[in-house]
Amino acid sequence: MGNNKKLHILLAEDDTNLGFVVQDNLKAMGYEVTLCIDGEQALKTFVNNNFDACILDVMMPKKGGFEVAETIRDINPEIPIIFLTAKSLQPDKVRGFTIGADDYITKPFDFQEFVLRLEAVLRRSNLLSKEENNEVNNYNIGDYELDIKNQLLKHKNSERSLTKKETKILSYLCKHKNDIAPREMILKNIWGNDDYFSGRSMDVFISKLRKYLSDDKKITITNIHGVGFKLEVEN
């Protein structure tokens, strides 16, 4: 499994039988796995150790998975988070992706599929898109400047730190400035798939980017329904 041996995963699951099964199987594949059985323990463990990814059950004692994930996201905006849960209701999934989940897996699940989805999330987070290495490091967007390498959005005398995903989406829109960036292509390039929940997650990110760019009224990000997004800058 290549570089899996270096990857440390936080697994928070209050069903100890399932937790041990997942932990043992991932360890057998070469991952280092720390198992916690409630949300408070998971947060304390996260703060005191270095992890490469988090797998969180939504329904846990003391602190639920959503609450744990929100705190983890405040500490580390980039770390991959996968929710593992018996809750398959759509509003819960939407909430999970809004918090910033990279995937949402409903129990019971096939372990082989679970591993494939975990590996897909890890690949996406560990590889900065190859295309970024061959391209310009900066884009001018009206009064703003996007610094891709340092993940900064600069505006006059201020600058805002962006997450890796925000940077990737905005640079993709910049590449297609004043043209339509196809929704399907954004999802496949940045999320790795174009399913419904990834689409909802992308919509949340687009809303954030609109707010970040709102000080320059010449800039608009238009949703072309069912087709894609268009970043337009008036001259």
Where residue 178 sits, what CATH number does that domain have? 1.10.10.10
pLDDT for 222 equals 92
pLDDT for 54 equals 93
Is residue 60 within 8 A of residue 36, CB to CB? The reply is no
pLDDT for 213 equals 95
CATH classification at residue 113: 3.40.50.2300
Is residue 200 within 8 A of residue 94, CB to CB? The reply is yes
Does the structure show a pLDDT above 90 at 214?
A: yes
Tens digit of each residue's pLDDT (9 = 90 or more) over 199-208: 888 999 999 9
Please name the residues in contact with 141: beta carbons below 8 A apart, sequence gap of 6 or more. 170, 174, 177, 213, 216, 219, 231, 233
Quick one: tokens of 152?
């900064």
User: Where would I find the beta strands (DSSP E) of 31-163?
Assistant: 32-36, 53-57, 81-85, 103-106, 138-141, 144-147, 152-155, 158-161
Q: What angle do CA 51, 54, 58 make, to 5 degrees?
A: 150
**Do 227 and 141 share a structural domain?**
yes
CA distance 63 to 117: 25
Is residue 15 within 8 A of residue 57, CB to CB? The reply is yes
User: What's the total number of domains in the chain?
Assistant: 2
**Do 45 and 150 share a structural domain?**
no
CA distance 39 to 98: 19
**Do 100 and 47 share a structural domain?**
yes
Tens digit of each residue's pLDDT (9 = 90 or more) over 20-60: 888 888 887 788 899 998 888 999 999 888 888 999 988 88
On average, the pLDDT of the chain sits at: 83
CA dist 134 → 70, 125, 128, 146 (Å): 34, 19, 12, 16
Confidence of residue 168 (pLDDT cuts 50, 70, 90): confident
**Do 202 and 227 share a structural domain?**
yes
**Do 114 and 181 share a structural domain?**
no
Query: Which contacts qualify for 224-228: CB closer than 8 Å, 24 or more apart?
Result: 224/180, 226/183, 227/180, 227/182, 227/183, 228/180, 228/181, 228/182, 228/183, 228/184, 228/185, 228/186
Domain end, chosen from 74, 105, 126, is at 126
Domain end, chosen from 109, 126, 143, is at 126
Average pLDDT of the residues in 110-115? 82
Range of the domain at 156: 131-233
Q: Percent of the chain having pLDDT more than 90?
A: 23
Please name the residues in contact with 204: beta carbons below 8 A apart, sequence gap of 6 or more. 97, 98
pLDDT for 133 equals 41
Does the structure show a pLDDT above 50 at 131?
A: no
Q: How many Cβ atoms are within 10 Å of 193's Cβ, its own excluded?
A: 13
Does the structure show a pLDDT above 50 at 166?
A: yes
Tens digit of each residue's pLDDT (9 = 90 or more) over 54-96: 999 888 878 888 888 888 888 888 888 898 887 666 666 777 7
